[in-house]
Amino acid sequence: MSLLLALSLVAPTSLAQSPSSPRDETVRVRIETDAPEVSLFRVTSEGYGTVATTGGMGTVGIIHYQRECTMPCDVTLRDPTTDFFIAGSGITPSRRFTLLDHGRDVSLKVDPGSSGLRTTGWLATIFGVSLAVAGGVAMALDGTGSSDSSLPKDNTLRKVGMGSLIGGGALLAIGLPLFIFNGTDVKLAPNKLTGNRGFDL
């Protein structure tokens, strides 16, 4: 009984003297951007689930998140070790980042991208690649056609293939820049008093 009493008295003292966890830290966060729709989100949990599809079983990722602030954003957050990201209405979600090791006062300089234009670019790229592949196949089939010179040459397949190649190339030329340049860029710029340098994402 006396041993249990001694442990009950020692345990709280040991916990009180233990160093604080990074999860207990707080960070002041400010967002600098010209887009009023920008919001800061925290990933609270994530996992995987299994779903049944026509082709069998598939695995999907499940992410739970919560909004921490919306522009104008100037908030003090606890637990900077978790993942954060920038998103908003019509804005492409940014890559994840943490606020740990960037000081106690951090500015997020956000250059948002358009989610609508990025989706358009992705679809144009997919269709462009498909058309280019179809055109290449049509050209190859035309090249392996009949070699009998006594028969009139049918250039329909070649024309279809050439048109598909040109159309696919045009869609790629439009789609790739839209997809690449409409991501959301975030730069972490710690307060000068912390002595840290900015960090690009």
Label residues 9-43 b or e (16+ Cβ within 10 Å = b).
eeeeeeeeeeeeeeeeeebebbbebebeebbbbbe
> Tokens 């887009």, residue?
35
Structure tokens at 46: 């994530």
Interval 101-113: pLDDT, tens: 888 999 999 999 9
Mean pLDDT value across residues 70-75: 93
Confidence of residue 152 (pLDDT cuts 50, 70, 90): low
- E-only strand ranges, the chain: 26-32, 38-53, 56-70, 74-78, 84-88, 105-111, 185-190, 199-200
Q: Output the pLDDT for position 7.
A: 35
Q: Output the pLDDT for position 85.
A: 96
Q: Which positions ≥6 away from 5 have C-beta within 8 Å?
A: none
In the DSSP assignment, the letter for residue 127 is H
Reported pTM? 0.71
